[in-house]
Amino acid sequence: MSLDAYVTLGRSGLRVSPFTLGTMTFGEDFGWGSTPEESARVLSAYVEAGGNSLDTANLYTNGHSEKIIGDWLAARPGQRDRLVVGTKFFGNLHPGDPNGGGVGRKGVLHQLEDSLRRLRTDHVDLYWVHNLDPVVPLEETMRTLDDLVTAGKVRYVGLSDLPAWRVAQAATTAQFRDRVPVTALQLEYSLLERTSEAELLPAAQALGAGVMPWGPLRNGMLTGKHSRATGGPTRAMVDPPRESDWAVVDAVVEVAAEVGADPAAIALSWLRGRHGVSSTIVGARSADQLTRNLTALDLELPAGARARLDEVSAPSLPFPAWANARASVLQFGGTTVDGVSHPENPLLSASPARY
């Protein structure tokens, strides 16, 4: 597989690369990103390899990420329309202004205009709600986004980091009001974070939304660079590793040694093969790092290795996911349905129905 083996994003007409380039590290404004020059090299390496999907946000490096992308596009006339440029809104870049961010109409409109100015374009292909605001009426946000699509400033709409109940509410509201649909979801998903399997991934599949996982390497934990002895990443907003995390990291490193691949490629290949995943957001601080990560596109994990990683990373899902997972035992009476064999209800086996 390669970056130009495009996939259709959700129930839409939009085609994107199997890896989307994440640009949260573009700019050094937060103290740990890449210089504008190195960021431009990463962009060039991605596009030259056949990639067409870029992901950013107004909040990334205080808008600098968007500006770096905009400058890169401006230097390459004709390139803009060949790419799928997505950005997210919610983050407030204007201290003291309560309407400077969020999902209300005034905030959304101003955030988009600012993003368009920095990106040096007249539209974005994917406009993502970045976080949850439970106070602003959902109807206000969805109507605003629909107006922006009608105006030609936005092509498609996505939701990022929202709970499944809000995703379902947004999708059904759009459907019944004949508004722009929810094309895709962004959510954290990796060998070290699989709780999205409880609600968000099933919601995306049921609603016809594509899935773009972020954090596939869990802030570097799955690159093989960290161990129990050295500890995990120390960047702000990163939770300390749990003991169960190290068991997963060990398994990834062992599988990498067995198949002769980089640990990061193992983790990315595992995620690419998960049911429901459309395009994985992959970041890189350098062009060399991007090239190494792209090797995951050619890596097919052996069935035994995939099963081993599935088992060691299996999450403890919250209610009602664990209860629903056992529903087939109660429902099918030990029969085979749609090619799947279901066990008998152990309660009936112990005490057959008599009434």
Would you please indicate which residues are annotated as catalytic (active-site) residues? 60
DSSP per residue, 196-242: GGTTHHHHHHHHT-EEEEE-TTTTTGGGT--BTTTB---STT-PPPP
Amino acid in position 342: H
Evaluate whether 131 touches 160 at the Cβ level (below 8 Å): yes
Q: Is 157 exposed, middle or buried (0-12, 13-18, 19+ CB in 10 A)?
A: buried
d(CA 355, CA 338): 30
Residues 6+ apart with CB under 8 A from 152: 122, 123
- For residues 318, 200, 285, 127, the Cα torsion angle rounded to the nearest 10 degrees is -150
d(CA 297, CA 198): 27
Evaluate whether 198 touches 318 at the Cβ level (below 8 Å): yes
Evaluate whether 57 touches 91 at the Cβ level (below 8 Å): yes
Count, residues in the chain: 355
Number of C-beta neighbours around residue 125 at 10 A: 22
In terms of Cα–Cα distance, which of 174, 158, 63, 170 is closest to 120? 63
Relative to beta strand 84-89, strand 340-341 is unpaired
Peptide bond connecting 352 to the previous residue in cis, omega within 30 degrees of 0: no
d(CA 142, CA 150): 12
